[in-house]
């Protein structure tokens, strides 16, 4: 489908931007995107994997959008076709990953905190998720750890040691949620997907977490994009209406 305004793309975050958090997109939104697509090229970039994004935006998502970037673009689809994949394992390599994982597990073993459970490192395709208490703790134990960590700074101390020890790997460490932090190569945030959008002279990005520390911040701030902060799917439609459909 040829868009009326060539070289212009509207690129959307998923959660909180096209759908209510962790919910399915409304029929109104899906129709709006198809109307918008007659005017500009449209794309989505989400942190989740493709199966989760399909649950939220529909099983035909890779055909409904010109570009679908799942896992921040580590998996990239253009007009329904897979055009690129990247993973932690192939990028960093098993030797260096093993070194990092071994050191981290030793560090956790020596850590004196009130309780420990299981799954201290979760290996995902684009990141490692590290939890000093272990991910399979109960909700109550999570809440307790979060309080304890606020006082003892277990995670931030651990991050500063890992950052220094593995400086050569150029990892980004991101403390989020209650019990863990994420570790991934520098640049593997949502800006990763911009490498596929060289041909566009106007990249409009819409996201709800554009503040510092939010998962839309880097791409919102990027010199390659024109960033727009939205508060809900309704707000996204409203802003797109005035930007693209009324001019």
Known binder of ligand: residue 220? yes
Q: Does 218 bind Mg ion (CB under 5 A)?
A: no
In sequence order, what are the beta bridge partners of 233?
none
135 known ligand binder: yes
List 3, 9, 11, 15, residue binding Mg ion (CB under 5 A) = 15
For residues 39, 234, 226 and 242, what is the CA-based torsion angle, rounded to 10 degrees? 50
Nearer CB in complex with Mg ion: 29/159: 29
The three-class DSSP label of residue 74 is: coil
Choose, by CB under 5 A, the member of 16, 43, 47, 73 that binds Mg ion: 16
User: Which of the ranges 78-86, 156-164, 175-183, 209-217 carries the binding residues for Mg ion, by CB under 5 A?
Assistant: 209-217
Instruction: Name the residue nearer to Mg ion (CB basis): 70 or 104.
Output: 70
22 is in an annotated binding site: yes
Is 180 annotated as a binding-site member? yes
8: CB partners within 8 A, 6+ apart: 40, 41, 200, 201, 202, 204, 244
Environment class of 78 (CB within 10 Å of its CB; exposed 0-12, middle 13-18, buried 19+): middle
Is residue 149 annotated as part of the catalytic site, yes or no?
no
Would you count residue 208 as binding Mg ion (CB under 5 A)?
Answer: yes
Residue 238 and residue 235: Cα distance in Å, rounded? 5
> Is residue 15 among the annotated active site residues?
yes
Contact code string over 111-150 relative to Mg ion, x by CB under 5 A: ----------------------------------------
Q: Encode 162-173: b = buried (16+ Cβ within 10 Å), e = exposed.
A: beeebeebebeb
When asked if residue 189 is in the footprint of Mg ion (CB under 5 A), the reply is no
- Residue holding tokens 């096209």? 18
**Residues in 86-105 at the binding interface with Mg ion, rule: CB under 5 A:** none
How many angstroms from the chain centroid is the CA of residue 96?
A: 23
Q: Kind of pairing, strands 67-70 and 8-12?
A: unpaired
**Considering only 74-82, 83-91, 101-109, 208-216, which stretch makes contact with Mg ion by CB under 5 A?**
208-216
Q: Which residues of 17-38 are buried (b: 16+ CB within 10 A; e: fewer)?
A: bbbeeeeebeeebbebbeebbe
d(CA 208, CA 164) in angstroms, rounded, equals 32
Q: Is 195 annotated as a binding residue?
A: no
Residue 233 in contact with Mg ion, rule: CB under 5 A:
no
Q: How far is the CB of 1 from Mg ion (least distance, A)?
A: 26
Q: In this complex, which beta carbon is closest to Mg ion, that of residue 18 or of residue 154?
A: 18
The contact set with Mg ion (CB under 5 A) reads 13, 15-16, 208-209
Q: Which residues are annotated as a binding site?
A: 13, 15, 22, 124, 135, 142, 180, 182, 208, 220, 225
Binding-site residue positions for alpha-D-mannose 1-phosphate: 22, 124, 135, 142, 180, 182
């Amino acid at each position: 489908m040829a868009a009326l305004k060539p070289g212009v793309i509207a690129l959307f975050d998923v959660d909180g931007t096209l759908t209510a958090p962790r919910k399915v997109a409304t029929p109104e939104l899906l129709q709006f995107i198809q109307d918008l697509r007659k005017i500009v090229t449209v794309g989505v970039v989400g942190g989740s994997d493709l199966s989760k994004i399909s649950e939220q935006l529909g099983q035909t998502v890779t055909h409904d959008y010109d570009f679908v970037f799942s896992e921040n673009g580590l998996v990239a689809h253009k007009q329904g076709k897979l055009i690129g994949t990247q993973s932690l394992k192939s990028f960093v390599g098993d030797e260096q990953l093993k070194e990092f994982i071994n050191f981290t597990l030793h560090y956790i073993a020596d850590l004196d905190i009130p309780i420990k459970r299981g799954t201290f490192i979760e290996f995902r395709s684009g990141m490692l998720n590290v939890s000093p208490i272990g991910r399979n703790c109960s909700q109550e134990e999570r809440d307790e750890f979060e309080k304890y960590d606020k006082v003892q700074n277990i995670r931030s101390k651990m991050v500063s040691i890992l950052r220094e020890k593995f400086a050569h790997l150029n990892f980004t460490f991101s403390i989020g949620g209650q019990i863990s932090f994420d570790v991934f190569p520098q640049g593997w945030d949502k800006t990763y997907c911009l490498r596929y959008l060289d041909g566009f002279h106007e990249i409009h990005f819409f996201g709800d977490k554009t503040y510092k520390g939010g998962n839309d911040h880097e791409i919102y701030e990027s010199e390659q994009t024109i960033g727009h902060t939205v508060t809900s799917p309704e707000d996204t439609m409203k802003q797109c209406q005035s930007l693209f459909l009324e001019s």
